[in-house]
Amino acid sequence: MMNAGIVREPTRDETDRFERAILAIPEGRALNGIGTRGEKTLHAVLKSAWSPNPEHHEQKIGPFVADSFDGERVIEIQTRQFNTLRSKLDAFLPVVPVTILYPMASRKWLVWLDPLTGEATKRRLSPKRANPIEVVNELIKIRTFLSHPQLRITIVLVELEEQRWLSGWSDDKKKGSRRHERIPLTLDGVVELRQVSDYLGLLPPELPETFTSAVLAKQAKISVRTAQTALRILEDLKLIQHIGKDGRHKKFTRCG
């Protein structure tokens, strides 16, 4: 389920830049690395789409290299492991605004690759869909920075093809398999968290006035653990408050 309330349609300019970035990726390339920093295709496309001028790419600021810096704003593309951003954010945020681009699969086509021959199966559509609230599983790793006025999070909803090696431990070799590539196909939507109050938009609009992690999990169709993480972040940001208990579960309501 996707909370459509906070998802906006891409602008024509965003769509055009995204399509041009895809066309710039050589067709059929088995992308083990691109450029000097070993980028994967999804990372490279997002960087080119949101920062079209290559002269702005890989700019050094102090001891760190930013994915993009145009003299006014840093862009960092992070597909996972937000914890690795903490040192950069410590260095960048006091001196320059930072936008973190985080891709999520609005639709995902799976292709399986034979590790011996490289032969690919016919792609099939995965039933899984992006749910923007699940970004909290990465945001919790940089929770101390989320209220910083110079930080913006942009969730990019992308239809993509995911290629995986048949290298897992199960009989069909799929469980525990290793991902090879993610190839972006279309830009489907954008979620922008520009200021602290925007994080409330991650909650489903039908959520009642008072709620627990179990209620949130059911309404948003996420795990209870993810719901607990979301509530922890929103409480840190003083957007919700703890008002008691419902059985074993803490009960919350929105502030203000």
How would you write the pLDDT of the chain (256 residues) with one tens digit per residue?
455 568 999 999 999 999 999 998 876 544 443 333 445 899 999 999 999 999 999 999 989 999 999 999 999 999 889 999 999 999 999 999 999 999 999 999 988 888 888 788 888 998 888 899 999 999 999 999 999 999 999 999 999 998 888 777 877 667 777 778 889 999 999 999 999 999 999 999 999 999 999 999 999 999 999 999 999 999 999 999 999 988 788 999 999 7
**b/e code 77-107 from CB counts within 10 Å (16+ = b):** bbeeebeebeebbebbbeeeebbbbbbbbbb
Q: In this predicted structure, what is the pLDDT of residue 121?
A: 83
Handedness of CA 133, 135, 137, 139 (dihedral sign): negative
Q: In this predicted structure, what is the pLDDT of residue 80?
A: 86
pTM (whole model) above 0.85: yes
The encoded tokens of residue 86 equal 């903490």
**Could you tell me how far CA 36 lies from the centroid of its own chain?**
23
Q: In this predicted structure, what is the pLDDT of residue 20?
A: 94
Q: How many whole angstroms separate alpha carbon 150 and alpha carbon 158?
A: 25
Q: In this predicted structure, what is the pLDDT of residue 37?
A: 41
Q: Yes or no: say if 133 and 226 are a contact pair by the CB < 8 Å rule.
A: yes
Q: In this predicted structure, what is the pLDDT of residue 34?
A: 38
Q: In this predicted structure, what is the pLDDT of residue 180?
A: 81
The values of phi and psi at residue 78, to 5°, are -130, 115
